[in-house]
Homo-oligomer: A and B are copies of this chain.
Amino acid sequence: MFAIAPCTAWLLPPVPFFAAEATELLDPSLVNRPIVQMVLLSLFFIYLAAKTGGEITNRLGLTSILGELVGGAVVGISLLNLVVLPGPGIEASDSLLLSFIQLFHSGLGEAELEGIFAAQGEILANLSQLGVILLLFQVGLESNLRELVRVAPQAAVVVLVGITGPLFFGLLGLLFLFGAEMPGALFAAAAPTAISIGISASILNDLDMLKSPEGQLIVGAAVLDDITGILILTVIIGISSGTGVSLVGLATLIVSAAVFLVGSTVLSRLIGSMFVDLLKPMQVRGGLLMLSLAFCFGLGFLADTIRLEALMGAFAAGIILSQTEVRSNLEHQLEPVAQLLVPIFFVVTGARTDLRVLNPFAPGGWVVILMGLFLAATVAIGRISGAYAVPTKQKLNRLAVGVGMLPLGEVALVIAGVGVSSGQMSSELSAAVVMAILVTVILTPICLRAALGRDSKAAAD
């Protein structure tokens, strides 16, 4: 399973340097050496992939986020197998890095290798999670609470229409056009209801659009969509596990989400000024950054605990601190930290997406690709209709709002993953969801730029 190809064996032969692999004895005491090595090497490839991919797509006039995702796909399970995280059907033996690390540790058995693989996976998954938490903190920090509250009803309309569209037409199409079966079709139609707030916000940020009315409407809608996404996921899981849907559970979730969002909105000035008062007497450098992150992680934990997502907590923390005098200073200090952690999220997301399922030469391969395009189309129609349904008399680039809500991402992957691992969804349907994610992520920056260009041209006329 972990056979070492003879052609690489000359690199550094696994000679036992010291009697009894002496330094391995270190492991229990401080750090597990092979794990640290895996993490260092993974980060090396993650940053290399992020930079190379980002640079290329940027030159092509696309967003660098796309390049980071594609770079992740290249170093990930789809192609080079360098950055490999455990997942359904993905084994320790799939990781090329692990086979490489193994060259330097002759004493490792099967169980140790499984342990190293699992541990590096957890570490990368958590770093990636910290990356997206930080991203949402940044988005919150750059948001405008008053504007978000103002657009809340509009955002609700966008989300309602934008979710119903794909769910309804997607389900019908999958059942009657493609002959898919229930409940798999329901999973595949539900997956695209979840927008990837991380990818969407990053693209907005990249186009310097985050603070515009359209940007704030998209952010507000994405927050609401995240909550409805959790609700839909809960219902879906209830159905798939055969235990039914607990109405009390759903009600609890809705109430706790509402309490959390309204609470952090209403109390934001109070909490914000308490935070600044706490910060003022600090003398040591780094106090602002460290306490802000403690605040962000603390609220993230709180949100996660009441069954919301940690992302929502980080976003709320950002919103709260956006109303304080530390905002611009914190934004400035957060920038390099985000540059460090956020790409890990995009590369790891790309690395986890198994593009090998999209094989047009496999039997039925074209049908999968067509299903994916169909799902992406339902998403586009749903989101853009949602944007045009917004009741407002203000000038609003509705096309940009709709297009900005396109990106599917990790939540869609999760829904598909739950579907497949519960045995209720075929791997073809799951691959179609991957295809839909790919299409929306690639098209969003291109279409968004076009939509904005039309707008600025219209404004110039």
Contacts and interface: CB of A to CB of B under 8 A. Distances in A.
Interface of A: 12, 17-20, 22-23, 25-26, 28-33, 35-37, 39-41, 43-44, 47-48, 50-51, 54-55, 58-59, 64, 87-88, 104, 118-119, 122-123, 125-126, 129-130, 133, 233-234, 237-238, 241, 243-246, 249, 252-253, 282-287, 289-291, 293-294, 297-298, 300-301, 304-305, 307, 310, 333-337, 339-340, 343, 410, 413-414, 417-418, 421-422
A207 to B, nearest CB: 14
A422 to B, nearest CB: 7
Contacts of A25: 237, 241, 418, 421-422
Given A17-B252, A29-B413, A418-B25, A343 B243 contact: no
A265 to B, nearest CB: 22
A419 B422 CA distance: 49
11 contacts: A12-B305, A23-B234, A31-B125, A32-B125, A37-B301, A40-B304, A47-B294, A51-B291, A58-B283, A290-B343, A336-B336
B334 A29 contact: no
A55 B241 contact: no
Contacts of A283: 55, 58-59
A238 B289 contact: no
A301 B100 CA distance: 12
A19 B304 contact: no
Contacts of A246: 17-19
Number of this chain's copies in the assembly equals 2
Contacts of A245: 19
Contact of A340 (B54, B285, B293): B293
Nearest to A305: B104
A333 B335 CA distance: 9
B237 A31 contact: no
Given A22-B249, A122-B123, 6 more contacts: A18-B234, A30-B413, A43-B293, A64-B284, A289-B339, A290-B340
Contacts of A118: 119
A39 to B, nearest CB: 5
A379 B308 CA distance: 53
A223 B32 CA distance: 22
Nearest to A248: B17
A125 B336 CA distance: 23
B87 A28 contact: yes
A241 to B, nearest CB: 5
B241 A339 contact: no
A410 to B, nearest CB: 6
Contacts of A339: 285-286, 289-290, 333
